Amino acid sequence: MGLGDRLERRSKQSWNAALNLFLRVDCLLCNRSNEQAICPSCQSLLLGGARARPLDILEPLPVFAWGSYEGGLKRAILGMKYDGQRAVGELLGQWLGRSWRAARLPPLRLVPIPMHEVKRQARGYNQAAVIAQGFAQETKQILDSRLLVRSRSTTAQHGLSLVDREANLRSAFSIAPFQGVKPMVLLVDDIYTTGATAREAQRSLVAAGFGVWGIAVVAR
């Protein structure tokens, strides 16, 4: 290696070192400085908590859930929703996609549960769509973030009874115009609690002639 090559290599190395220093962030879960939104050791802890059997056939909608909504996974999801941690959503979506592939489930059209446009603009992104993006990258399924539209802003579901939740959600969704044979859809969301939102989305899609296979979520 000539002197010129060595000098070039050294300047490249110091440039990379400077770049890495610049790109370092605090891990969302343990605050350790590293290069990712969640550091490698917290990632392995989270991966250890993934459900061995993610699929539950619940009536009237099968639910595919990657993990349980508790501990580090709960904090990661809250960070993704309320702390601008978009990269965490992509990562969780990829993990969800990997376990979908491992379960050898069929390819479907991915439809994230939409947020109302006003709320989406305030947050900068819809976390369900970000998760669905990671999921689609991993499984090569078609992502359709425009099919299901939140037509009405609903009050927060938190603290409402099941009956009130369903009344609150009625006609909350509409379906965008669609050309061609209507495919089988897989809904995607961050968490599954009572399933009221998923059932309302399913009702709207089925009324418009789509089949709904179920819903895939990061946690329940």
Report the interface residues with Zn ion, using CB under 5 A: 27, 29-30, 39, 42
User: How many Å apart are CA 14 and CA 20, to the nearest integer?
Assistant: 10
| Shortest separation between residue 82's beta carbon and Zn ion, angstroms | 19
C-beta of 28 vs 196, nearer to Zn ion: 28
Asked if residue 199 lies in contact with residue 61, where contact means CB atoms within 8 angstroms, the answer is yes
User: How many Å apart are CA 187 and CA 211, to the nearest integer?
Assistant: 11
| Shortest separation between residue 65's beta carbon and Zn ion, angstroms | 23
Asked if residue 196 lies in contact with residue 154, where contact means CB atoms within 8 angstroms, the answer is no
| Shortest separation between residue 29's beta carbon and Zn ion, angstroms | 5
Asked if residue 191 lies in contact with residue 69, where contact means CB atoms within 8 angstroms, the answer is yes
Asked if residue 132 lies in contact with residue 113, where contact means CB atoms within 8 angstroms, the answer is no
| Shortest separation between residue 26's beta carbon and Zn ion, angstroms | 9
C-beta of 26 vs 164, nearer to Zn ion: 26
Q: Which residues pair with 150 in a beta bridge?
A: 173
Query: H or E segment at 9?
Result: helix 3-23
C-beta of 44 vs 179, nearer to Zn ion: 44
| Shortest separation between residue 74's beta carbon and Zn ion, angstroms | 15
C-beta of 94 vs 193, nearer to Zn ion: 94
Helix (H, G, I), strand (E, B) or coil at 177: coil
C-beta of 30 vs 162, nearer to Zn ion: 30
